[in-house]
Amino acid sequence: MHTPEGTYLAWLDCRQAGIPGNDPHGFFLQQARVALNNGLDFGADGAGFVRLNFACPKARLMQALERMRDALQALPSTHSA
């Protein structure tokens, strides 16, 4: 037996992230190769949200978060310099 590394879920609000089509589930799956729960699976109020399961080894979680960060940083900027 080993000590679990995590047993938590996090709701990520992606509504202001500039993700095309306001589809964070599809975006992260295709652009970051990270599978998350689609907020819409939990009702209409879940639009623009994804649920991240932290119950995994720390190295896997960090890799997923880095991929998500990189995918977001690759989005075209909507801000003027």
Give per-residue pLDDT as tens, 20-43. Answer: 998 999 999 999 999 999 999 999
3-state SS, residue 71: helix
Alpha carbon distance 51, 41 (integer Å)? 10
DSSP 10: E
pLDDT at 55: 86
Alpha carbon distance 71, 81 (integer Å)? 20
CB 28 within 8 A of CB 21: no
7 pLDDT tier (thresholds 50, 70, 90): low
pLDDT at 16: 94
CB 56 within 8 A of CB 4: no
- The CATH class, in words, for 9-73 is alpha beta
Residue 17 pLDDT exceeds 90: yes
pLDDT at 2: 58
3-state SS, residue 58: helix
Task: Return mean pLDDT, the chain.
Answer: 89
